[in-house]
Amino acid sequence: MQTTIIYLAEIIGIFAFAVSGAMLAAEKNLDIFGILVLGVVTAFGGGVVRDLLLGITPPAMFNNYIFLLLAALSSCLVFLLYRQRRLARRLTVYLRRRHIKLDISGLVNFFDAIGLGAFSVSGVNVALDNGFADNPLLAITVGVITGIGGGMLRDLLNGEIPSVLRKNVYALAAILGAGSYYLLMHSALPSLAAVLISCGLTIALRLAATVFRWHLPRPDPEKKI
């Protein structure tokens, strides 16, 4: 049950991360291969770094063809929608007539929050499963890296400073999720509850931070970023 929920949330996360990477690449007019690479790297980059740090070689992504196919197809979908702008516009008009308004970036942000929650928890889980349960620093760090690493690689490959270093409360949400999951897994709570609480905490904090425009303090609060 607990693994099923993590599994489901991971699927949403891979889709959301792949879409966010592919969209950034499409905005820069990279070719179909560039879009595919950015999508796949964003979806799996954090997990690969985690596996390298934990000494799990080859990284787990190479044994999960379904996840990889999902990331590749999501990226291709983004390419097609960018390529067929006319089709995309028609889709928007069609939905608007049915009083459904598409807020793409809001939608991606929503999925992305779910992915962040799922990845931060599943990253800690991998550390626990591989015998690092007695090293909270390591377990929580690889959880956070699983959650935010893909996005950091995406931004680096795009020649930008990783947005996670300045985006509203993004990393803090991952830290709280990974930390609470580590603590709850060492408590008497059933592991299903630990997953739901930690995932929920990350997702709720991330969404609230977007809606209410929460930011972590900066050296010069008045300067725009």
Residue closest to 24 by CA, chosen among 46, 39, 44? 39
Burial class (CB in 10 A: 0-12, 13-18, 19+), 73: middle
- Contact between 157 and a second copy (CB under 8 A)? yes
Region 110-129 residues binding a second copy, contact defined as CB under 8 A: none
Q: State the greatest distance between any 2 C-alpha atoms of the chain, in Å, as a whole number.
A: 56
x-marked contacts with a second copy along 167-206 as a string, rule CB under 8 A: ----xx----------------------------------
Is there binding between residue 89 and a second copy (CB under 8 A)?
no
Q: Which of 7, 62, 94, 212 binds a second copy (CB under 8 A)?
A: 62
Q: Which stretch binds a second copy (CB under 8 A): 5-13, 49-57, 109-117, 189-197?
A: 49-57
- DSSP category for residue 99: T
**Nearest Cα to Cα of residue 142 among 217, 59, 218, 205:** 59
Q: Which residues contact 123 (CB under 8 A, 6 or more apart)?
A: 46, 47, 50, 142, 143, 144, 145, 146, 147, 178
The reply to whether 83 sits near a second copy by the rule CB under 8 A is yes
Contact region with a second copy (CB under 8 A), list: 63-71, 104-112, 183-191, 196-204: 63-71
Q: Which of 2, 11, 76, 82 binds a second copy (CB under 8 A)?
A: 82
As a three-state string, the secondary structure of 114-143 is HHHHHHHHHHHHHHHHCCCCCCHHHHHHHH
Among 21, 34, 117, 143, binds a second copy (CB under 8 A): 34
Exposed / middle / buried, residue 221 (Cβ in 10 Å: 0-12, 13-18, 19+): exposed
CB of 115 to a second copy, least distance (A): 19
Residues that bind a second copy (CB under 8 A): 25-26, 28-35, 37-38, 48, 52-55, 57-59, 62-63, 65, 68, 79, 82-83, 132, 135, 137-138, 141, 152, 156-162, 164-166, 171-172, 215-220, 223, 225
